[in-house]
Amino acid sequence: MRVTIDLPLAVDREAAVPLAVQVAGQLREAMRTGRLRAGERLPSTRALAALLGVSRTVATDAYQQLYAEGWLDGRHGSGTYVADDTLPYEKPGAQVIETRGSVHREPAPPGWVDLRPGRPWVFGYDTAAWRRAWRSAGELALNAFPDPYGHPELRELLADHLRRARAVPVGAGNVMVTRGTGNGLDLIAATLLGPGTRAGVEEPGWRAARRIFASRGAEVVPCPVDEQGVIVEALPDDLRVLYTTPAHQFPVGGRLPIPRREKLLAWARRTGAIVVEDDYDAEFRYDVAPLPALYGLDPGRVVLLGTLSKSLGPDVGLGWLVAPADLLDAVAERRMQLADRTSGPVQRAVATLLERGDLDRHLRRMRLEYARRRAAIVEALGPYVRGDTAGLHVMVTLPAGVLPGLVRRAGERGVLLDTTEPHHLGPPRVHGLVLGYGSASRADVRRGCAVIRELIPPAEA
């Protein structure tokens, strides 16, 4: 039975912390410690505002933040509840138990609509800023002994970028410049894995991660996900590494809520596993507050991977790997053994984009543009859409039996589609279309969605 409870909450009007932040923090702590349990009903925003003597806006803002973080659940006309997936409270003394498609994909024929995932819009950059960055790169002297960690200046700039954009408290000493997410993941695999080790990958998940782990001799273990992300309770205890995409799970699209993030980190501390966090699509969010990166919650157990392939384009070939200093040193040593390096001129060009604020301006423009394309998909296919709060793709849920015919008929009408089936290691357990809207114009997104809507069988409409 669901019950409504009252809590001793208070606000300090003299404090520098905003009232809504105070309320959200007290409720979050109550759920974290077990004073509020899963399934318990909270007061309405009107009742909470009256209880605290604040405006209803304060109460609403506090609840909205907790909804975004995954602490609260709600249903229209029913009320606000503590989510069922909140972290089990800890009793005193108790033990705390590169592209996303194929490796090589042919471009769409002229005039076709390509709604396959894994490609950004590469025509929206500032050409003047781009030329300026490469003029700066041309002034850089060639280095006979490339630094395996990357250029010190760029490492500083990337650390500052991560602090601002992702609230990751990191210094340059924890940052390595890579050629992208796949390169960073391979360096981690080469350092930590080998025959006799086991590495987990989300199921369904990024196929390249499975190939990278297997190429380094590890046994690849599929780890099931649901609509929110990886299911912590299903993780085995003998994984050396777990690869996960908590910001926007590929391909299902979930955002791992904070309670489950904390469960995941507790599992990693207990088992000694390293969690590799692919910050996939984190720079593009829609209608939701940002969630903290796993690395920021536990820098000792997490490796953070990022890339500019989605914000600028795959051709740039630059990313970053953030890790504890001792692990980063081990990765750097292994990297030198592999004769792996990131282009010096590319590093200088990206440093210029960061120094001048050009990358930040580009990201702001593209967030707006991608939000419009995402809105077109939701408008056309709303009842079927999942995972639309972030990133450059959504999942359209449809029965497995519908998908082959729909994909074939869409292709006959000039629309290229991808499904969830190829992204499984074992038998498919999640069924639907994986719609990418990064590389298609808004007009093409609307055209493609109209074709999909027409092809959905009446029984599913």
Q: What contacts 24+ positions apart, CB below 8 Å, involve 26-29?
A: 27/62, 27/66, 27/71, 28/66, 28/69, 28/71
- pLDDT at position 206: 94
Token couple for 191:
């350092």
- Pairing of the two strands 113-114 and 198-203: unpaired
pLDDT of residue 69: 58
Q: Which residues of the chain have pLDDT under 70?
A: 1-8, 68-70, 74-78, 84-106, 144, 461
Selection from 98, 180, 101, 202 nearest residue 435 by Cα:
101
Q: Please report the domains of the chain, with CATH numbers, ordered by start residue.
A: 19-82 (1.10.10.10), 113-123+360-455 (3.90.1150.10), 127-356 (3.40.640.10)
Short-list 280, 264, 312, 153, CA closest to 205: 280
CA 275 – CA 266 distance, rounded (Å): 11
Q: Which pLDDT score is estimated for 149?
A: 97
Give the C-alpha separation, 150 to 292, whole Å.
25
Tokens coding 253: 């699209």
Taking each helix axis from N to C end, the angle separating 344-355 and 152-166, rounded to the nearest 10 degrees, works out to 50
- Decide if 150 contacts 176 (C-beta within 8 A): yes
In DSSP terms, 395 is beta-bridged to 386, 434
Count of C-beta atoms within a 10 Å radius of residue 85: 19
pLDDT given at position 1: 37
Which residue has tokens 């007061």? 43
- DSSP code string of 301-338: TEEEEEESTTTT-GGG--EEEE--HHHHHHHHHHHHHT
What six digits make up the tokens of 80? 């606000």
Tokens linked to 138: 């041309």
CA distance 93 to 60: 36
DSSP class of residue 100 equals: S
pLDDT at 205: 95
Please, is 295 exposed, middle or buried when counting C-beta atoms within 10 Å of its C-beta (0-12, 13-18, 19+)?
Answer: buried
Give yes or no for a contact between 245 and 209, defined as CB atoms under 8 angstroms apart.
no
